[in-house]
């Protein structure tokens, strides 16, 4: 039995604050994606490097990122490292947690994409006089990013939704944090969360549509 009177006016009055929060959410998500993609490329290179210790570092990263809850990773980035005297603000902790997670997942996506690219591509590049790194940079990487473009869009959406875990490390400026604060203040739980859900939906929809347009432009040929 659900017995609740919706009072939209009171909740909608808080919309500007929630939209400010949405901007912070976007900031965290975009930053974590940009850094995450760079890190994932580096992790992929480490795995390809042929050096066992380097590959082991990359494998360990991916294993932890993929096989433990994101909540745990964010919590550790705040309270875990603090046990060693390293203090990060909630914003940075959240960013580190999500980026760590993003990099792990994206590295796996990239690995999958690489498997779809035949070795002969590298050899063709080498035969043209490119170094190993040049062949990767000019021939493999563009194809790899193209193949993993859709999973990357997925990961971006996931990153946006993951910002909601920031409340566990004292984050109150992102969309979910703002909503939770307003909820505690007014007790208008269901209106506020409904509004937040609509904003989250709108953001992810814009991201996926944007990605589709970008893909249409990038992958014309």
Partner 1 sequence: MKTLTLTAAMLTATALAGTAQADKLDDIISSGTLRCAVVLDFPPMGMRDDSNTPIGFDVDYCNDLAAALGVEAEIVETPFPERIPALMSGRVDVGVASTSDTLERAKTVGFSVPYFAFEMAVTANDSTGIASFEDMKGHTVGAVAGTYEAIALQAQVEAWGEGDFRPYQTQADVFLALSQGQLDATVSTSTVAQANVQSGNFGGISVVGKAPFDTDYVALFAKRDDYGLLNYLDLFVNQQVRTGRYAELYEKWVGGELPDLTVGGVYR
Separation between Cα atoms, residue 77 and residue 100, nearest integer Å? 10
Distance CA 198, CA 206 (A): 12
DSSP string, 34-79: HHHHHHHHHHHHHHHS--HHHHHHHHHHHHHHHHS-HHHHHHIIII
- The residue (of 77 and 203) whose beta carbon lies closer to partner 1 is 77
Q: Quickly count: other Cβ atoms within 10 Å of residue 46's Cβ.
A: 19
Q: How far is the CB of 27 from partner 1 (least distance, A)?
A: 18
What tokens appear for 112 in the block?
């999958």
**172 in contact with partner 1 (CB under 8 A):** yes
Q: How far is the CB of 168 from partner 1 (least distance, A)?
A: 6
Site map 74..113 versus partner 1, x via CB under 8 A: ----xx--xx-x-x-xx-----------------------
CB of 165 to partner 1, least distance (A): 11
What tokens were used for 133? 């790194």
Q: Does the protein bind partner 1 through residue 4 (CB under 8 A)?
A: yes
Residues lying near partner 1 in the complex (CB under 8 A) are found at 1-4, 7, 10, 78-79, 82-83, 85, 87, 89-90, 167-170, 172, 177, 180-181, 183-190
């Amino acid at each position: 039995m659900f017995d609740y009177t919706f009072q939209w006016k009171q909740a909608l009055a808080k919309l500007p604050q929630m939209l400010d929060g949405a901007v912070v959410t976007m900031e965290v998500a975009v930053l974590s994606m940009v850094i995450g993609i760079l890190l994932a490329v580096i992790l992929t290179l480490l795995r390809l490097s042929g050096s066992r210790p380097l590959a082991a570092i990359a494998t360990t990263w991916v294993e932890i990122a993929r096989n433990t809850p994101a909540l745990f990773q964010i919590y550790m980035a705040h309270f875990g490292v603090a046990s060693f005297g390293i203090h990060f603000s909630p914003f940075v902790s959240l960013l580190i947690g999500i980026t760590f997670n993003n990099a792990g997942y994206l590295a796996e996506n990239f690995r999958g994409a690489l498997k779809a690219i035949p070795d002969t591509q590298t050899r063709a590049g080498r035969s043209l006089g490119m170094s190993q790194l040049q062949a990767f940079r000019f021939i493999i990487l563009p194809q790899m990013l193209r193949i993993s473009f859709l999973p990357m869009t997925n990961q971006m959406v996931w990153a946006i939704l993951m910002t909601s875990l920031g409340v566990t490390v004292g984050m109150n400026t992102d969309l979910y944090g703002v909503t939770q604060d307003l909820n505690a203040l007014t007790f208008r739980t269901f209106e506020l969360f409904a509004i937040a859900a609509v904003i989250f939906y709108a953001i992810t929809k814009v991201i996926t549509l944007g990605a589709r347009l970008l893909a249409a432009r990038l992958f014309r040929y």
